[in-house]
Amino acid sequence: MRRVCSRCGKERSEINLPYAKMSLCPLCFQEFYVNRIRRTVREFSMFKPDDRVGVAVSGGKDSVALLHGLCKAFPEADFVALHVDLGIEGYSQHCKVKVEELARNLNVDLFVFDLKEELGFSISDYARSRRGKVCSHCGVIKRHVFEELAERADVKVLATGHNLDDYVALMLNNFFAGNWIQLARLKVVLKPILPRQTVKVKPLIKTPEDENLLYCIYADIPFRDVNCPYAHTSRLRRNREILDFLTKYNPNFKYQALKRFLELIEILDASIKQPELRTCKVCGFPSSGEICAYCRRIEIMVRHDPS
Ligand SMILES: [Zn+2]
Ligand SMILES: [Zn+2]
């Protein structure tokens, strides 16, 4: 028997969504996807429909789907794409091409921070000069650079493409580690503590990862199809597998976990004192110490000149 889309009742269904008890045709799925972004933004008051909003776009399926979905959900808003060229050989150039193509298609302004050009070293240089995993250092550098890009682009709100699966796994990680301060920082809307910080928002927290990929395919969105050479299997991955296992038995598991974690975060936020921040004496951005984690890494690279 031919399965018909549960929304329009006309087209053949291609996408099965067990948690919503629906099977959708490609067109209805795209509408469903965009509507969920719109609802999530409104539910958490992430920004106003006519705000100027920066979107961190790496070129991966989550972030490109986010930018495209936001433009469809809020045609009145002024979205700006922010991209960091990490200079990772065999990877970054490919990512940048995809982001440029998408920005052109959507007619949004694109601001690129090129590490090699602006700082004198790339993540590949950084990896060569240091032993061990480069991801956490790269994360510190990216977080800082996105704040600088946001200033250049004159945006006060920064949207990132964290999806439901990653987000709940990250919550679970911090929960098991008893990392309450980090857990409390996983608020859906993270307000700035000091000047020169943006409001961080996550419009995809209710979107499962595989739906970002499907949206990219059906909406014909360019996205990167090579993996970062430094990516490695992490504890986050393993927790994600546990969550996937539980979701097989209860399709709503991740949504239920998200709901409970968000309640817990409210309680934590009210009772935990976040470490005090001051301004870094080198770059002037917020920092927990005299010199921020970003500037300490820059200093190391300048001392061991990679060239
Ligand atoms: Zn349909
Ligand atoms: Zn600094």
pLDDT (tens digit per residue) in 187-197: 999 998 888 88
How close is the Cα of 5 to the center of ligand 1, in Å?
5
pLDDT at 286 (0 to 100) = 85
Ligand closest in space to the Cα of 293: 2
Say how far apart CA 121 and CA 142 lie, in whole Å.
13
d(CA 169, CA 254): 9
**Predicted confidence band at 131 (pLDDT cuts at 50, 70, 90)?**
low
Range among 60-74, 173-187, 292-306 rated most confident: 60-74
Distance 31 CA to ligand 1 centre (A): 9
Could you tell me the distance, in angstroms and rounded to a whole number, from the CA of residue 129 to the centre of ligand 2? 21
Is pLDDT larger for residue 163 or for residue 299?
Answer: 163
284 Cα to the center of ligand 2, angstroms: 6
CB 12 within 8 A of CB 2: yes
Closest ligand to Cα 5: 1
The Å distance, Cα 279 to ligand 2 centre, comes to 8
Of 183, 292, 173, 192, the C-alpha closest to 237 is: 173
CA of 1 to the centre of ligand 1 (A): 17
Alpha-carbon distance of 13 to 1, in angstroms, equals 12
Q: What is the set of domains in the chain, with CATH numbers? A: 41-303 (3.40.50.620)
Place of tokens 């399926």: 61
Confidence of residue 198 (pLDDT cuts 50, 70, 90): very high
Q: Report the distance separating Cα 220 and Cα 209, nearest Å.
A: 17
Q: What would the pLDDT profile of 35-92 be if each residue is shown by its tens digit?
A: 999 999 999 999 998 899 999 999 999 999 999 999 999 999 999 999 999 999 889 9
CA of 22 to the centre of ligand 1 (A): 10
Residue 90 pairs in a beta bridge with none
Share of the chain above pLDDT 70, in %: 95
Report whether pLDDT(200) > 60. yes
* Distance, CA of 236 to CA of 58 (rounded, Å): 19
- Check: pTM over 0.85? Answer yes or no: yes
The ligand placed nearest to the CA atom of residue 9 is 1
The yes-or-no verdict on residue 305 having pLDDT over 70 is no
Using DSSP's 3-state secondary structure scheme, residue 94 falls into helix
The DSSP element (H or E) to which 109 belongs, if any, is strand 109-114
Looking at the CA of 143, which ligand is closest? Answer: 2
Read off the pLDDT of residues 232-241 as tens digits, 9 standing for 90 and up: 766 677 888 8
Q: What is the mean pLDDT of residues 229-250?
A: 83
Lowest mean pLDDT among 101-105, 145-149, 159-163, 234-238: 234-238
Provide the 10 A C-beta neighbour count for residue 27: 14
Q: HSE, CB side, 13 Å, CA atoms: give it for residue 235.
A: 8
